[in-house]
Amino acid sequence: MLTARPDGDAALVRAAKAGDASAFGQLYERYRDVMYRYCLARTGGAYDAEDLVADVFIRAMEALHRYEDRGLPFVAFLYRIARNASIDRGRRLRPDMSIDDLTAHPESGQNVEAEA
């Protein structure tokens, strides 16, 4: 669900792009809770959600110069960043498996070849 406030978002985004930190702070205050709920649903834990929200707004600040209003609200930009950050987080947390782990022989003493 997009909870946009287009009346004030465009002006705040323009000001934030021009370097007004308080404008970005207002965008953060406006959408922090929405992003937290989204991130909580993606992570399942409060601490992980808080970390992800922080990552979302850091990425948004870094990418703000690329944001263009194309008829979508600013919060859609944030949702896209949150989705990508969540995917990246999942990739980082997923354990790496080597090919040896996948082809390891059973250690239970069973003779798999004889049973086949």
pLDDT band per the 50, 70, 90 thresholds, residue 114:
low
Query: Could you tell me the domains of the chain?
Result: 6-94 (1.10.1740.10)
Give the pLDDT confidence score for residue 69 in this predicted structure: 83
Residue 9's closest CA among 69, 51, 57, 66?
Answer: 69
Sign of CA dihedral 32, 22, 69, 6: positive
Q: pLDDT tens digit string along 42-89? A: 999 999 999 999 999 999 999 999 998 888 899 999 999 999 999 998
Cβ contact 42:86 at 8 Å: yes
Query: What is the CA angle 71-74-79, rounded to 5?
Result: 110
pLDDT band per the 50, 70, 90 thresholds, residue 115:
low
pTM of the model: 0.74
Residue 1 and residue 34: Cα distance in Å, rounded? 9
Average pLDDT over residues 16-40: 97
Q: pLDDT tens digit string along 19-30? A: 999 999 999 999
Give the pLDDT confidence score for residue 76 in this predicted structure: 95
